């Protein structure tokens, strides 16, 4: 599907909502597939974009074409019931599509000159205003926000920036990356996971967090290097801009081959991440993320490991890393040679953290110049290499 108009999302989603009973909001999909698995904060945070307060679960479509009180109304309440009423009206034009949790909200008005597409929990925000100017495409916390005004007014913000991804083990680190303390503090040896160990760590929450799109919407948007010009055009992002380079980098990382002994997949929706993880581990799983108690105080400081380190069951896990993109994309990979831990820690200022650590017991397929080896002064395949997960990353493990 080729279109540079963000409103094609509206058309696709409306059809999907009316035509398919399977179009559950992401949160309900999680509950239907994983009724006994609590949703980790790293996931629930991405279902609550800041730009819309609506908490309803209904879809309202009102199309009047300049002639209220008429139009077409589609109401989708809780569950899979769809009610459609069609009428024809007279003056003032308006189109509204509203979805509470996990859907799309659209208001299209020609006299007032405004079209809005938003999402209360995990979706796309689009606003088009002709008289007072502009088109806004917003995707929740830190994602793409595009505001296109009249001539000469085209501010674009995509909350992403190109950086080295330390969780891609086929990549070599440069000298500059080697001295990046934020990344450097992530890696350590498994023997260091014990009470009393002190590490200099940074658990600062990412400022580049984009919200989930419903699977029907995400599936209608291309995600490939071949289609990159179309993708960037869709989000009004210039190819040579920092935002464009970051989006290109994420797509290329997703397309790069997996290292030996690893399966990888880039999930462009919560539903697809659930499906990939359960296809590898089954549905009797836990999904866990690093959690920091309280946001006040320093995030980057010395942390001491406290008593109560918990080794999670099994040697097979799926780890999903949140990528920098216009909407939530998770780079997921699975191996049968890893161990995961929940590590209670306390910062020098008293801050409490339950950190998720993943230890890779076979690193023989990693790039010999990967950041971990250069920092730890070890060779590929010699000893287990561990890292803590940032707050917006997730590990999936089988339950006992």
pLDDT tens for 293-342 read 876 667 888 999 999 999 999 889 999 999 999 999 999 999 889 999 99
Q: pLDDT tens for residues 129-183?
A: 333 433 333 433 333 433 333 333 333 333 333 456 778 887 888 877 777 655 5
Do 59 and 75 contact (CB within 8 A), yes or no? Answer: yes
Q: Which two tokens stand for residue 66?
A: 């300049």
Residue 227's pLDDT is 96
Give CA–CA dist 130/311, Å, rounded: 57
Residue 175's pLDDT is 79
Question: Exposed e or buried b for every residue in 124-146, given b needs 16+ CB within 10 A?
Answer: bbbbbbeeeebbbbbbbbbbbbb
Q: Which pTM does this prediction carry?
A: 0.69
Do 85 and 106 contact (CB within 8 A), yes or no? Answer: no
Give CA–CA dist 353/347, Å, rounded: 8
Residues with pLDDT less than 50, the chain: 1-22, 49-162
Q: How many residues appear in the chain?
A: 400
Q: Which two tokens stand for residue 159?
A: 């909350």
* Burial group, residue 40, by CB count within 10 angstroms (0-12, 13-18, 19+): buried
Residues 6+ apart with CB under 8 A from 286: 37, 312, 396, 397, 398, 399
Q: Which two tokens stand for residue 377?
A: 């002064």
* Burial group, residue 66, by CB count within 10 angstroms (0-12, 13-18, 19+): middle
């Amino acid at each position: 599907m080729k279109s540079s108009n963000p409103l094609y999302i509206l058309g696709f989603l409306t059809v999907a909502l009316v035509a398919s009973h399977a179009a559950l909001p992401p949160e309900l999909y999680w509950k239907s597939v994983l009724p006994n698995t609590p949703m980790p904060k790293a996931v629930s945070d991405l279902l609550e974009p800041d730009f819309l307060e609506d908490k309803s679960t209904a879809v309202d479509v009102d199309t009047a074409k300049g002639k209220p009180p008429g139009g077409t109304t589609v109401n989708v309440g809780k569950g899979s019931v769809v009610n459609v009423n069609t009428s024809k009206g007279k003056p003032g034009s308006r189109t509204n599509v509203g979805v509470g949790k996990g859907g799309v909200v659209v208001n299209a008005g020609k006299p007032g000159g405004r079209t809005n597409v938003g999402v209360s929990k995990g979706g796309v925000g689009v606003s088009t205003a002709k008289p007072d100017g502009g088109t806004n495409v917003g995707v929740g916390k830190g994602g793409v926000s595009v505001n296109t005004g009249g001539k000469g007014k085209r501010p674009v913000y995509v909350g992403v920036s190109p950086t080295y991804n330390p969780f891609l083990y086929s990549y070599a680190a440069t000298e500059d990356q080697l001295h990046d303390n934020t990344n450097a503090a992530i890696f350590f040896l498994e023997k260091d996971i014990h009470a009393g160990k002190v590490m200099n760590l940074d658990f600062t929450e990412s400022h580049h967090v984009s919200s989930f799109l419903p699977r029907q919407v995400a599936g209608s948007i291309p995600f490939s290097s071949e289609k990159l010009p179309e993708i960037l055009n869709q989000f009004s992002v210039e190819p040579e801009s920092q935002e464009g380079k970051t989006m290109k980098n994420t797509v290329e990382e997703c397309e790069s081959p997996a290292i030996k002994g690893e399966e990888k997949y880039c999930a462009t929706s919560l539903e697809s991440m659930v499906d990939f993880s359960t296809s590898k581990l089954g549905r009797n799983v836990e999904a866990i993320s690093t959690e920091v108690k309280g946001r006040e105080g320093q995030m980057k400081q010395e942390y001491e490991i406290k008593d109560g380190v918990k080794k999670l069951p099994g040697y097979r896990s799926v780890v999903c890393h949140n990528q920098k993109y216009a909407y939530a994309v998770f780079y997921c990979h699975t191996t049968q040679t890893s161990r995961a831990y929940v590590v209670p820690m306390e910062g020098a200022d008293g801050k409490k953290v339950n950190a998720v650590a993943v230890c890779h017991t076979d690193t023989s397929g990693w790039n010999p110049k990967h950041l971990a080896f250069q920092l730890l002064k070890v060779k590929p395949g010699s000893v287990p290499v561990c890292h803590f997960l940032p707050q917006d990353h997730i590990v999936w493990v089988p339950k006992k």
